[in-house]
Each structure stands twice: as C-alpha cells, then as structure tokens.
Structure 1
C-alpha cells in the first residue's frame, strides 16, 4: 500500500487548513492509500508526522499558503507543493500528481 504524508496550512490556520486535510484524507482512503495529514494552524501543529513516517512515505504533499514549520524534516524528500484551495477542490489529483513525481 502506498504511503502518503501531507501538511496543510493557511495564513489564519483555521477553516481552510482543516478542510484541505479532510479532503486529502478522504481522497487517500478512496484511492486505498495510507495517508497521514499534519495540520499547522493557529493552534499549532496537530497530528505531527514522525521522522519514520516521512522516511516510509512514497509521496509528500504540502498544501500550504504559508511557511511550513519544521520543514527541515522533509529535506530528503521530493515535495509536491500546492495551494490549500487545490487540495480542497481536487485532492485525488493532488495525490496522484505527488505519486508521479
């Protein structure tokens, strides 16, 4: 099973951050992938991705419109960067595009 990790974050870190996370989680399950989404918002980092999960990931998605906190964790990975809006509108495409990199 393919493993995907993602970070969602928007400037205010409230609604759109969590809408993007939900969209990616739903799409990942529909496509039968193991997906973990970390949110970075006004309340801090939630559902933090571990170093091991990053190492095991087949794809990394940053659906962000602000700077990613602790981005150095992903230094050895190819990162598919998209907007929060793109993740909300077409999460399946975001996942497939990330896996194609």
Structure 2
C-alpha cells in the first residue's frame, strides 16, 4: 500500500517535522510505503508528484493550516487530521485510514 502525506503547522518548524517522522514510522510499522511532503517556513520539501498521486492508495493530510496544492488530493481516499494526531495517536490514524480505504 502506498500512502502520500502532507504535514504542516502554522510555523512550519517543529510539529511539521515531528508529524512527518511519525507518519514515516507509522508506515514502517504497518508495511506501508509512505511519502511525506512537508510545508513550512522553508517552503515545500519532498514534494508529492503527479506520479505519486496516480499510484497512491490514499492520502493523509495532517495540518493546522491551508496547504498549497490541496486540490491534488481530491480524487484520493483522504484522511484530514490535526498535525498532532500522527504524533499522539498513530494507531488511530492508521485505523481510520484503513477504514476509509476499505470502505470507499
């Protein structure tokens, strides 16, 4: 399973990168291939491409702000959550994403 993710917080520093790391760990733990794009004070890093989106099974948008390019994900099964959720509740994020994918 391939999941694309975006992590972003208002300042784009600590929580953005903590969430990105938590999402990558979530992927490893559950056998997902993960690509995490971060949006913050340094701009967009590890940008998700059209090819990534075309092969993705779903998207996790973990943000506290309106992200650039949100429309890219409109055709994907998508979980929108707080940037803190992957950090504090990774199992809930996983279970919710799997529920969405399995019930689309």
What is the TM-score with the length of structure 2 in the denominator? 0.90
Contact 2:57/2:77 (8 A) holds in 1: no
Root mean square deviation of aligned Cα: 1.1
Structure 1 residue 86 corresponds to structure 2 residue 89: no
SS of residue in 2 equivalent to 1:49: coil
Task: Tell me which moved more, 36-45 or 75-84.
Answer: 75-84
Encode CA deviations 1:63-87: one digit per residue, 9 max, x unaligned: 0000011112112123200001111
1:71 equivalent in structure 2:
70
Task: Tell me which moved more, 18-27 or 67-76.
Answer: 67-76
Q: Which runs of 4+ in 1 moved over 4 A?
A: none
Q: Counterparts in 2 of 1:1-101, with a 5 A limit?
A: 2-101=1-100
SS of residue in 2 equivalent to 1:84: coil
Structure 1: distance between partners of 2:95 and 2:51: 22
Contact 1:23/1:87 (8 A) holds in 2: yes
What is the TM-score with the length of structure 1 in the denominator? 0.92
Aligned residues: 100
Unaligned 5+ segments in structure 2 are: none
